[in-house]
Amino acid sequence: MLPEIAALLPASIDDTWTYGQVKAVEDLLIEQGTFHFPRLETGLFAAATSAADDFHLTGYQNVWVRDNVHVAHGHFLWGEQTIAVQDVQALLAFFATQKQRLVNMIEGRTTPDQIQQRPHIRFNGRTLTENSESWSHAQNDALGYFLWLTSRLATTGQLELSIEQAALLNEFPHYFQAIDYTTDEDSGHWEEERKVEASSIGVVVAALKQWAVILDEHPKFRTAGRGATSEFCSQLVHRGEDALARILPYECRQENSRKARAVDAALLFLIWPLQVTTEPMARTIVANVSDQLAGPYGIRRYLGDSYWCADYRTLVSAEKRSTDYSEDQSARDQLLKKGFEAQWCLFDPIISIIAGEWYRAHGQPEDLALQKFHLLRGLTQLTPPESRFGPYKCPESYFCEAGTYIPNDITPLLWTQANLRLALVGMLQSLST
């Protein structure tokens, strides 16, 4: 851990922590720029920022819908609502350009296997236009996240939707019905080989629930465009919940061994911020992730993950490190040495947030200890002064290079920054109870 943080916060979960100590850590990181979120002129966030000469080859200067939702949601929760609303307004403007793709799928002019004809989920955030390259746009979770946050901001009164925007959003439930999101194979959070994923189904369930609330609160929206009702959304939700009951706590239960997956860290997002699992299932998922995916530096996305595996920069050229592997990642998988998956920095803060929710609900000291433990791990993942990125940065992951774990090229990652700040906010809430 950086010495400045160690001087402010006890390094043991057995010690008593105070509100003032954690607030001092948050203030320090704000002062050091850890929570700096550069925005594009449109109000959107690029996935990452870097001064490296070959950063443009990573593709992370683009906008991902999923990342923007998580980062904007963070701003909303820690009190910068205007930034969150501006982000969602820009996403609404982009998806207005994607409406015909939704309509074509709904009306049968395209089919789910035509991946490039699906709504795009990675695009040019400066111009709000599509990128020309082929990409793994079959990502139901990304579409669900957009509908979920847009609906949530509207229910709080922070975002006022027009009839035209409501007409656009009404297309989404029909789209999810058309592709049958409960059986559709998509590339999901990690943009890889398509399969039926609980982590994608759960996002859509959360989104449909939120949009149903809007339709009940604003009757005029029910007839906007194609029209939709809360009853229609609820029917789709029930199908999704039935699918989750069959799959969870697995990520995928398909018979194909390349697709089946027992444990995936993406399932954490169904617990928080989406809250679509029961608490017993949530505790099972957290235990599975902690027991099977945690390493000394971070948490693996899943066992067998070859993205940023050992010596990735040596084995894979810069222009191919973040390419579209959704059709075939077998060549990349052959590079993985067992046990040397990249260890990501997204997840310890998320588990800390979840444990904090449990602690504030039940007051159990073991939940507070878990919250502290994973917050400490998240703080330990910050880059040290000797890092090529400078100190106090939030990496995407740590990977093994020449026998040593170091931050990968995607440093800082804005999604990690948002998670870590929210973990500190959650810790402050727990210490206030």
Average pLDDT, rounded, for the chain: 96
Dihedral, CA of residue 389, residue 394, residue 396 and residue 399, to nearest 10: 60
Q: What is the pLDDT of residue 395?
A: 97
How far is the C-alpha of 86 from the C-alpha of 362, rounded, in Å?
36
Q: What is the pLDDT of residue 59?
A: 76
Q: What is the pLDDT of residue 53?
A: 56
Q: Is the pLDDT of residue 131 over 90?
A: yes
Q: Is the pLDDT of residue 121 over 60?
A: yes
All structural domains of the chain with their residue ranges: 1-32+294-432, 39-262
Q: Is the pLDDT of residue 95 over 90?
A: yes
The angle that helices 163-179 and 140-155 make with each other, rounded to 10 degrees, is: 140
- Each residue of 365-391: b (16+ CB within 10 Å) or e? eebbebbbbbbbbbbbbbbeeeeebee
Cis peptide before 249 (omega within 30 of 0): yes
Average pLDDT over residues 385-404: 97
Average pLDDT over residues 215-221: 97
Q: Is the pLDDT of residue 52 over 90?
A: no
How far is the C-alpha of 107 from the C-alpha of 431, rounded, in Å?
53
Dihedral, CA of residue 377, residue 301, residue 135 and residue 53, to nearest 10: 40
Span 70-82, pLDDT tens digits = 999 999 999 999 9
Q: Is the pLDDT of residue 57 over 80?
A: no
Average pLDDT over residues 347-367: 98
- The runs of H, that is alpha helices, within 156-278 are 163-179, 198-217, 230-247, 268-271
Pairing of strands 397-401, 404-407: antiparallel
Three-state DSSP at 264 gives coil
How far is the C-alpha of 31 from the C-alpha of 50, rounded, in Å?
19
**Residue 142 burial (CB < 10 Å; 0-12/13-18/19+)?**
buried
Q: Is the pLDDT of residue 163 over 80?
A: yes
End-to-end alpha carbon distance in the chain:
27
Span 269-318, pLDDT tens digits = 999 999 999 999 999 999 999 999 999 999 999 999 999 999 999 999 88
Which of 272, 121, 257 is CA-nearest to residue 186? 121
CATH architecture of the region 39-262: Alpha/alpha barrel (1.50)
What pTM was computed for the model? 0.96
How far is the C-alpha of 298 from the C-alpha of 349, rounded, in Å?
10
